[in-house]
Chains A and B, each alone.
Chain A
Amino acid sequence: MSEERQVRTLHLAGALGMTIFSLGPILYMALTAASRRPDFLSHAAGFEFTVAHFDSVLRTASLHFPEYLRNSIVVSGASAALCVSIASPAAYAVTRLSLPGRVFFLLSVLAVSMFPPVSMVGYLFQVMGKLGWINTYQALVLPYTAWILPLSLWILTSYFAQVPADLDRAALIDGCSRLTILRKVIFPVAAPGIFSTALLAFIIAFNELLFAMMLSTDHAARTVPVGIALFEGLHGEIPWGVVMAASILTTIPVILLTLVFQRRIIQGLTRGAVKG
């Protein structure tokens, strides 16, 4: 076998291995959701296709799944939007202005994000209680934003740092103010970074369980992860089929978002800005 073919084979094998490794659990989830009995792997049961679980997730009013999904999307979307809109001017300032102690600033921001959420949740509960915000969107959006902001700032800083400073200088001379530059030059040029950051922030907020568990009490603000976690216990046994069906449905918005933004994320960052 030629070396080129060996490399190709190894590439393929590696990619296949990774895909199976990552998608295995999801496949299992999908099969469980679509099987009449959750123990479909055992001889006694066997696999029998059904959409009943999906049906009950979407139709059973007492499960409140559509509300949970709506809450999740609103809360995550708002958190992501807030994160990006705060982090991008900050990242621009960090990369472009000669701020004294820039590295110190970045590191201390990172340090803030290192507090384990569980150490803050009790205090957060008290604050939100005092504000009367328990079981509202803002009770989740604000902590999520604070929690995801450092990561967003770091990602955007690295993206903005790759945008050549000559572009800023050209725009300054062409008559832009700093804010106009951010809007008309940096945002479009670093669009892949902005979209990846927003998507990442969305996913992190979307998956969050602990804060949501503590700060929401019913379907007015409860998000999907909490909702699914509470499916168990409502009945005597854990309804695996329904849990898995709900999980599958939950991944759909994220997959859609990724597909929509994929083109923007992977396109070249600063093609043709400067020579080379």
Chain B
Amino acid sequence: MRLSFSEVSKTFLSFRGPVRAVHGVDLAVEEGELFVLLGPSGCGKSTVLNLAAGLVKPTSGEIRFGERVVASRDRKVFVPPKERNVAMVFQSYALYPHLTVFENIAFPLRVGGEEKGEIQRAVSQAGRTLGIGDILHARPAELSGGQRQRVAIARAIVRKPALFLLDEPLSNLDAGLRASTRGELKRLQRELGITTLYVTHDQTEAMTLGDRIALLRDGRVVQEGSPEDLYGRPGTPFVASFIGQVPMNLVNASVLEEGGDLYLRLGEARLLLPSGPAARVRIINSTEILFGIRPEHIGVARGIAGSPVAGTVTALENLGREVLLQVRVDGLPLSVLTNDKSIREGEAVALDIPLEAAHFYEKGVG
């Protein structure tokens, strides 16, 4: 089932006046797709999820499940959660503490008036799918975090929902378990083919899981696209710094024109802009710009002989396979990822900055 939001806004009333949590959001999640809502805390991503679930009524705009309008203030339509056939996994898992694992998973079926034999069959199948067949008689209090997580997912998939909603489902798991559950979740989603909306603040999760990602900030969608789009073509400095294992370098630079060629002035260095980047810089129409380059794209070599961009290593972090260097170039701080483990702190290094891979932004915008 396709899920679409058009111009959806939500304003909450509080004692300090109205708070706009979601701001004219347009989204379309295609049938069977795993769509990730990514953003820092307080960006409104959970509200979008609650809007899809029907836990929150939109202040304006329209939400559709396929062709069916499920929420629209103008048309006076609001379909309550129980008639939407959605399932949700909460960050807190929200298991019913007084029920056994079996009864927790069976709960939506019992409420839906499913017959006993069918419940038995569906619960044991969901239990098998998630590898929790042996703990069906335990209570949530007796389970580990990872097991609770599985029970919560089993409860969500047991009744074959039209839409699967996940609200930061992995953030309470420890790092190792998080990585393995991530992979499993992706496999499960593929197998079931259920349209999925996944909320997270973790860009790694978004990049690894999402078919498409929408990055939210202050209740608005900043950029929407495939993980490759967001990584390779971040539309704003915010997107650029949010996506990527190590945040992108964003430093002030200036542009100067000489004899029809554009040059980038980075600290003391002057670099000729090739035609591709030059065209992108020209659009900005300002000499003072924000220059972005990912740490993994910068080349580094020991010694500074003959290099246009040279700096000093001020700090060094060993990440195992790679080393993250903090390099100061004429007062500009740059992070650089390298495989060269021979570089020491305080050493002078030459940097190779591939301008084709760089990003240019107007200053003072998002």
Known: A185-B96, A275-B148, A275-B172. A175 touches B112 (CB 8 A): yes
Residues of A within 8 A of B96 (CB): 167, 170-171, 185, 188-189, 273
Give the docked Cα–Cα distance between A173 and B107 (Å): 11
Task: Decide if A177 touches B82 in the complex (CB within 8 Å).
Answer: yes
A15 at the interface (CB under 8 A from B): no
Least CB distance, B177 to chain A, in whole angstroms: 13
Cα–Cα distance between A171 and B54 once the two chains are bound (Å): 12
Q: Does B263 contact A (CB under 8 A)?
A: no
Is A272 a contact of B90 with CB atoms below 8 Å? no
Docked-complex contact A273 and B111, CB < 8 angstroms = no
Q: Which of A131-177 contact B (CB under 8 A)?
A: 164, 166-167, 169-177
Instruction: Count residues of chain B with CB under 8 A from any CB of chain A.
Output: 32
* Closest beta carbon of chain A to B41's beta carbon, Å: 17
With A and B bound together, what is the CA distance between A173 and B49 in angstroms?
Answer: 12
CB-based contact B92/A274 at 8 Å: yes
Interface-facing stretch out of B125-133, B139-147, B336-344, B352-360: B139-147
Q: By the criterion CB–CB under 8 Å, are A174 and B111 in contact?
A: yes
Does A169 lie within 8 Å of B88, measured CB to CB? yes
Establish whether residues B93 and A173, one from each chain, have CB atoms under 8 Å apart when the complex forms.
no
B40-93 contacts to A (CB < 8 Å)? 50, 53-55, 80-82, 86-88, 90-93
Q: Is the CB of B142 within 8 A of A272?
A: yes
Looking across the interface, which residue of chain A has its beta carbon closest to that of B149? A275
Contacts of B92 in A (CB 8 A): 164, 166, 273-275
Contact residues of B between 188 and 240, Cβ < 8 Å to A: none
**Shortest beta-carbon distance from B89 to chain A in Å:** 9
Contacts of B55 in A (CB 8 A): 169, 172-173
Q: Which of A230-276 contact B (CB under 8 A)?
A: 268, 270-275
Give chain A residues whose Cβ lies under 8 Å from the Cβ of B93. 274-275
In contact, A175 and B108 (Cβ under 8 angstroms)? yes
> Inside 8 A of B155's CB, which chain A residues have their CB?
170, 174
Question: CB of B269 within 8 A of chain A?
Answer: no
A185–B145 alpha-carbon span in the complex (Å): 21
**B residues in contact with A175, CB < 8 Å:** 81-82, 108, 111-112
Chain A residues near B87 (CB-CB < 8 A): 173
A128 to B97, CA, bound (A): 46
CB of A164 within 8 A of CB of B82, answer no
Q: Is B98 in contact with chain A by the CB < 8 A criterion?
A: yes
Q: What is the interface of chain B, defined by CB distance below 8 A to chain A? A: 50, 53-55, 80-82, 86-88, 90-98, 107-108, 111-112, 139-143, 145, 148, 155, 172
User: 9 shortest A-B CB distances, which residue pairs?
Assistant: A272-B141, A272-B140, A274-B92, A166-B94, A174-B108, A271-B141, A170-B94, A175-B82, A273-B97
Query: Which A residues contact B (CB, under 8 angstroms)?
Result: 164, 166-167, 169-177, 180, 184-185, 188-189, 191, 268, 270-275
Given contacts A174-B108, A175-B82, A271-B140, 14 further A-B contacts (CB under 8 A): A164-B94, A166-B92, A169-B55, A169-B90, A170-B88, A172-B54, A172-B82, A173-B55, A188-B98, A271-B139, A271-B141, A272-B141, A272-B143, A275-B93
